[in-house]
Amino acid sequence: MRARFSSAAAIEQGLATIQRIWVAEVVSAATVLWILPRLVRPLGGRLESGTLFIALFYLISLSDLALGRWFKSRAMAQAPRTPASSVEEAVGRLVGPLLLAVLLAVTPLPLAVVLYLLTGHLAAFAWLCALSLIGLLILRPRLEEWQEVAMRTPIHADRAP
């Protein structure tokens, strides 16, 4: 027997958890971007290998954003393929990968702080913080996506505990 999602509360609860974390990450990224250059002086001035650090941190940041996008698209694509015994189980399958995607979007932020403290490059710091904010916007949890996945995920009542 196949049933469709009947409980919108489970979807909204899972999405609300991810959205709260997303909002906290956006606020922390914006706060660091605004406050750090005003309050903290770089530790050692400019490093001779500053451009190497900048390139390496940009590469790590971009790869983490790509990995976060992959986790999100994979979770959204696989959820409807696997039958669930309840709405909560189906929504629970989305929460973990999407939480990881949001956290990966924030990776450029601590790298920006470290880069600023080591090299003193304010522009590189600002670009990494902006990259983190862009990643958070791209990987933002959307109710429409969750509802679409919910409508396509079969719920098998005979598998219920």
pLDDT tens digit string along 121-140? Answer: 888 888 988 898 898 888 88
Distances in Å between the alpha carbon of 42 and those of 19, 36, 125?
33, 10, 11
Q: 85, 160 in Cβ contact below 8 A?
A: yes
Tokens standing for residue 119: 């090299």
pLDDT at 115: 83
pLDDT of residue 109: 87
Could you give the percent of the chain with pLDDT greater than 70? 79
Confidence of residue 10 (pLDDT cuts 50, 70, 90): low
Structure tokens of 88?
A: 């909560």
Q: Which of 85, 87, 68 is nearest to 149 (CA)?
A: 87
pLDDT band at 144 (very low <50, low <70, confident <90, very high): confident
In whole angstroms, give the CA distance from residue 132 to residue 150. Answer: 29
Give me the pLDDT at residue 4, please: 44
pLDDT of residue 106: 87
Residue 100 has pLDDT above 50, yes or no: yes
Q: Are strands 155-156 and 2-3 parallel, antiparallel or unpaired?
A: antiparallel
pLDDT at 1: 37
**Per-residue pLDDT reduced to its tens digit, 14-26:** 777 777 877 887 7
> Helices in the chain by DSSP H: which ranges?
8-39, 50-78, 87-105, 108-119, 122-138, 143-152
Q: Of 67-76, 111-120, 146-155, which range is least confident? A: 146-155
Lowest model confidence (mean pLDDT) among 29-43, 102-116, 123-137: 29-43
Q: Give yes or no for residue 2 having a pLDDT over 50.
A: no
Look at residue 52 in the predicted model and tell me its pLDDT.
Answer: 75
